[in-house]
Amino acid sequence: MKNKIYIQGGTVYNADGAPIRQPLITVNSGIIEQITEGGEPPEGADVLRLDGDDVILPGFIDIHIHGSHGADVMDATPEALATISRSITNEGVTSFLATTITAPAASIEEALQQVASSEGTDGARCLGVHLEGPFINAKQAGAQPVGAILDPDAGQFKHWQALSGNQIRIATIAPERPGGAELVQALADSGVIGSIGHSDASSADVRAAEQDGLRHATHLFNGMRGLHHREAGVVGGVMLSDNLKAELILDHVHVSPDAARVAYQALGANRLMLITDAMRGKGLGDGVFDLGGQEVTIEGKEARLKNGALAGSVLTMDEAVRNARSTFNASWHDIARMTSYNQAESLGLTGTKGTIQTGADADLTVMSRTGFIKHTIIGGEKP
């Protein structure tokens, strides 16, 4: 790692506060040491000079990604994690949660142990694990393998958390299933984010789970009971909450633009988190790929099982940003919040990630005004 570098030009946008125009950002050993508006670096310094209209955002944090470029977290190999880590820097991601899928216990344990034994990655930093399944509802399985679904089990979770070296940061569960309340409470007690997903809960179930410690909703609208005028379901329960944050796959395939706008109006940028939910075929074009032992066909922007069910996405985070800009007319401040700040806040990383300020990690995503990646900077360096 280079000792001291400087980043000059562009405009910094955080979730809050005024933009910092034409900044000089001083990075020392991977940490932001100083930010000034204007100014010049010392003569002979190592400087990354940006274009005047570049947009500088806190590095994107993808808290829900299964795979990319032929690799999947469930491959449980260092090569797979490295491939995912390196490839997603191209879309502005600087940190991510390695996301599992419903599978036999042995397969989940191999994936957890691989993350636990990982000594870091060359690209985006792996911040831990998002355990998606197996504690979900078969009625809302989506592309999750039904045969491996289990009722929520706090004891099993605690075993897996110990096995992972406390790397599980989020667990997607169906709290309405037997054992659900106990698991939500166990997650909250251990500092893990409970996220309702692949759930057939009622809105009343959502309220009860939130009282038990539920904090997130996994890919809002997808894999959950929808909003109906006689039963508001998971979607309605999340929207009625004042505090639950929700993931959103903004590819215009999983969620229509109008439905996404409803979510944006109901939850606002303060409670939405853009994710990819990407699978191993991302970045490889059309073809046939594996997801949890199931055949997935990718055509264009859609990844589907043989039965037609959506099976993850091939979305990139920068495309999600462009969609948010056009669909919501979201400000750059709101983009910073939905791609990074909200995630960092939930993960307890406020002050180090999700923000561009003195003392924070020098994880930056530099975009053009039209929303295309120009530079991804991790710890002050381009991977």
Residue range 89-104: average pLDDT?
Answer: 98
Tell me: is residue 254 an annotated ligand-binding position: yes
Of 262, 219, 251, the C-alpha closest to 324 is: 251
**Inside any domain, residue 197:** yes
Per DSSP bridges, beta strands 93-99 and 71-72 are unpaired
Q: What is the CATH number of the domain that holds 182?
A: 3.20.20.140
Are 22 and 170 in a shared domain?
no
For residue 107, give the DSSP letter: H
Residues 248 and 370 in one domain: no
Residue 197's nearest CA partner among 216, 178, 183, 169 is 216
87 lies in some domain: yes
Q: Is 331 in the same domain as 196?
A: yes
Q: Which of 62, 277, 318, 363 is catalytic?
A: 277
Q: What is the mean pLDDT of residues 208-233?
A: 98
pLDDT for 251 equals 98
The predicted structure's pLDDT at residue 299: 93
Q: Side-chain half-sphere of 121: how many Cα atoms within 13 Å?
A: 29
Domain-embedded: residue 382: no
333 annotated ligand binder? no
219 annotated ligand-binding residue: yes
Q: Is 277 a catalytic residue?
A: yes
| Mean pLDDT, rounded, for 215-241 | 98
Does any domain span residue 351? no
Q: Tell me whether the omega of the peptide bond preceding residue 134 falls within 30 degrees of 0, making it cis.
A: yes
Q: What is the pLDDT of residues 37-75, one digit of tens each?
A: 998 999 999 999 999 999 999 999 999 999 999 999 999
Q: What is the CATH number of the domain that holds 48?
A: 2.30.40.10
132 lies in some domain: yes
pTM of the full structure: 0.97
Q: 156-209: per-residue pLDDT in tens?
A: 999 999 999 999 999 999 999 999 999 999 999 999 999 999 999 999 999 999
Count of domains in the chain?
A: 2
- Confidence band of 85 (pLDDT split at 50, 70, 90): very high
132 is in an annotated binding site: yes
106 is in an annotated binding site: no
**Domain region containing 47:** 4-57+356-377
The DSSP result for 110-133, as a single string, is HHHHHHHH----SSSEEEEEEEE-
Q: What is the pLDDT of residue 331?
A: 98
**143 labeled binding residue:** yes
Residue 86 assigned ligand-binding role: no
Does residue 305 share a domain with residue 236? yes
Residue 33 included in any domain = yes
Q: Kindly tell me the burial class for residue 124, based on how many C-beta atoms sit within 10 Å of its own C-beta (0-12, 13-18, 19 or more).
A: buried
At 118 the pLDDT is 84
Determine, yes or no, domain membership for 117: yes
Residues 233 and 86 in one domain: yes
- Does 246 fall in a domain? yes
Asked if residue 313 and residue 164 are part of one domain, the reply reads yes
48 and 134 together in one domain: no
Give CA–CA dist 86/94, Å, rounded. Answer: 10
Q: Between the CA atoms of 142, 79, 170 and 329, what dihedral angle is there, to the nearest 10 degrees?
A: -70
Query: Residue 1 has what pLDDT?
Result: 58
Distance from C-alpha of 380 to C-alpha of 347, rounded to nearest angstrom:
22
Same domain, yes or no, for 147 and 279? yes
Is 380 labelled a binding residue? no
